[in-house]
Amino acid sequence: MKTRSQSKQQKQQLYENNINFDDASAAWRLNKKSIGNGQYKYICTSNKNGIVCGKNCYKELSYCWQHRNDDSK
C-alpha cells in the first residue's frame, strides 16, 4: 500500500514543465505599454509597412481612434 507522500511523488513525475518565462513575458508585452507601478495599457497594433501604430487603444477596442474603422485589420 502506498502512502500519501509516495502517491504525490508519482503524480509529480507525470507532468513536465518546460516554460520559458522570459519569452512568455516578452510575447505578453508585445501589445502593451507600461504606465508604471506594474500596470499596462493596450496599444494599437495597426501595422503599415512593418511599423506598428503604438497609440493607446480607444475604449475596449484593439485599435486607436484613427484605426478603429480601418479595413486592413
CA distances from 40 to 30, 33, 35, 73 (A): 11, 5, 5, 23
First CA to last CA across the chain, in angstroms?
60
Domain segments of the chain as ranges: 32-73
**Chain segment 8-32, per-residue pLDDT in tens:** 665 555 667 889 999 999 999 988 9
Work out the pLDDT band at 45, boundaries 50, 70, 90.
confident
